[in-house]
Amino acid sequence: MSTNGFNLESNGGQVLGSVIPTVRSRIKTCFLVPAFSLLVITMIAVDASGQTAFSILQATGGISFTKVGSAYETTFGDMNALGIGTPQSGLTVAPLSNGALYFSEYQVQFTGLGLGNAELTAYVSTNFAHPAAQIIENCPSTSACTSSAGYSAMSTASGAPSTVIASMGVSTATVGIGIFLPDNDGASAFTGTDNSAVVTFTMTNVTFGITLATATMTFTLSPANTVQDAVSLALATAPSGLTVTGTSPYTMAFGNVNGLGVGATVPTVAAAGGIVYTTPYYLEPAFSDFTSTTAELEVYVSTNFAHPTLLQADDSAAAGGPYNAISTTVGSQTVITTTAADRSTITRYLGLFVSLNNTGTPFLGSDSATLTYTITVP
Confidence of residue 116 (pLDDT cuts 50, 70, 90): low
213, 228, 243: which is the final residue of a domain? 228
Amino acid 92: pLDDT: 98
**pLDDT value of residue 117:** 75
**Would you say residue 374 has pLDDT above 80?**
yes
Q: Which residues contact 224 (CB under 8 A, 6 or more apart)?
A: 75, 77, 193, 195
**Chain centroid offset of residue 2 CA:** 97
CATH, residue 346: 2.60.40
Separation of alpha carbons 181 and 93, rounded Å? 11
Q: Is residue 36 part of a domain?
A: no
**pLDDT above 60 for 17:** no
Summarize pLDDT for 199-210 with one digit per residue, the tens. Answer: 999 999 888 888
Statement to judge: residues 57 and 202 lie in one domain? yes
Rounded Cα distance, 46 and 212, in Å: 9
Q: Are residues 183 and 214 in the same domain?
A: yes
Domain count, the chain: 2
**pLDDT by residue (tens digit) across 154-187?**
999 999 999 999 987 778 899 999 999 999 999 9
Question: What is the average pLDDT across 323-350?
Answer: 98
Q: Given pLDDT bands bounded at 50, 70 and 90, which one contains residue 70?
A: confident
Question: Has residue 27 been placed in a domain?
Answer: no
Residue with the bigger pLDDT between 35 and 195: it is 195
Q: Which domain holds residue 155?
A: 48-228
Residues 340 and 216 reside in one and the same domain: no
The predicted pLDDT at position 208 comes to: 83
Residues 135 and 182 in one domain: yes
pLDDT at residue 361, rounded to an integer:
80
pLDDT computed for residue 167 by the predictor: 84
Query: Does residue 49 carry a pLDDT above 50?
Result: no
Which of 196, 228, 260 is the last residue before a domain boundary?
Answer: 228
Considering the domain boundaries, does residue 12 fall inside one? no
Tell me if 25 is assigned to some domain.
Answer: no
DSSP assignment letter at 312: E
Do 333 and 298 meet the contact criterion of CB atoms below 8 Å apart? yes
Based on the fold, state whether residues 208 and 244 are members of the same structural domain: no
Which of 17-21, 99-103, 362-366, 370-374 has the lowest average pLDDT?
Answer: 17-21
Q: Which of 228, 258, 286 represents a domain boundary (last residue)?
A: 228
22 is a domain residue: no
Given this model, what pLDDT does residue 51 score?
59
Q: Are residues 121 and 184 in the same domain?
A: yes
Please, which residues have CB within 8 angstroms of residue 337's CB and are 6 or more apart in sequence?
Answer: 296, 297, 346
